[in-house]
Amino acid sequence: MKQPAAIRASLDADMYPPFDGFPAEGLSFLQRLRKNNNREWFNGHKGEFEEFVKLPMLSLITSLQQPMLAVAPEVSVDTKKSMFRIYRDTRFSNDKTPYKTHVAAVFHPKGHWEASAGYYLHIEPKRIYVGGGVYRPDSAQLKAIRMAIAQKEKEFLEIVENRSFLKKFGGLEEEKLQRAPLGYSPDHPMIEWLKQKSFYAGVEWTVAECRNEKFVGKVTGVYKDLLPLIRFLNRALIRSSEK
């Protein structure tokens, strides 16, 4: 009997065509949106967005479902939840332009969408970013992650100091605290890792990488390489959120 994730993938496969590359028209739309970031222009070109940006992205998400079931079956790859809206939240921003000029998706563990590490995919006219982890976790999440690092030093270092991990990702991204976080001595053997503000890694590619069907396998390969980090973080985060 099929599991719910497999059923979801089967239904999406019937709704969206297989991903055969992000179209040049979609990249052109995002480029022109940068110069015409207003509601009048967008509404006049919404059909292009639907056909050349939204549909290819949903097809990409659908095409990722089966390979991700094999890589990380606990992760939700969902056409209804994974793709970010094109509309910007301008409430607390000085930039009041209404639309994002990229298209993106995120994939998190089933049942733990908010409080978890996940995978990210970002396409804009001149670059692609594929990565995963936790970006700027809140104080409770940081506490849980730091505790896990301090208690499981060897396991964490085997992930982030792995030769293949460093060759592919160059290490974790983001800036660090200047001082030791509260509750940890400056002499702690893991202090440089405990200073991290984010626990994230990824790769940047040119847009040529997304222009054909091979992109699905390349993205899945990155996610597979990030899986030990994602699972380490999620063991800490999910355990903490369930207390």
pTM (2 decimals)?
0.91
The pLDDT value recorded for residue 7 is 56
Residue 3 has pLDDT above 60, yes or no: no
Residues 61-96 pLDDT 10s: 999 999 999 999 999 999 999 999 999 998 888 899
- Cβ atoms within 10 A of the Cβ of 186, count? 8
Select from 91, 86, 94 the least CA-distant residue to 34: 86
Residue 2 has pLDDT above 60, yes or no: no
CATH of 4-241, one of 3.30.470.20, 3.30.930.20, 3.40.50.1100, 3.30.70.100: 3.30.930.20
The pLDDT value recorded for residue 1 is 43
Residue 86: HSE in the Cβ half-sphere, 13 Å Cα cutoff: 21
Specify which residues 134 forms β-bridges with: 199
Calculate mean pLDDT across residues 209-226: 98
The pLDDT value recorded for residue 112 is 85
Calculate mean pLDDT across residues 204-228: 98
For CA atoms 80, 97, 210, 230, the dihedral sign is negative
Could you list the beta-strand ranges (E) of the chain.
75-76, 103-109, 118-124, 127-134, 199-205
The pLDDT value recorded for residue 240 is 59
The pLDDT value recorded for residue 13 is 65
Distance between CA 199 and CA 201 in Å, rounded?
7
The pLDDT value recorded for residue 178 is 94
19 by Cβ neighbours in 10 Å (0-12 / 13-18 / 19+) ranks as buried
The pLDDT value recorded for residue 123 is 98
Calculate mean pLDDT across residues 217-230: 98
Average pLDDT, the chain: 93
Distance between CA 128 and CA 83 in Å, rounded?
15
Q: How far is CA 127 from CA 27, 99, 130, 204, in A?
A: 10, 18, 10, 7
Residue 241 has pLDDT above 90, yes or no: no
The pLDDT value recorded for residue 115 is 84
Residues 25-70 pLDDT 10s: 999 999 999 999 999 999 999 999 999 999 999 999 999 999 999 9
Distance between CA 221 and CA 169 in Å, rounded?
13
Report the share of the chain in percent with pLDDT over 90.
86
Weakest-pLDDT range from 10-14, 124-128, 167-171: 10-14
Residue 114 has pLDDT above 50, yes or no: yes
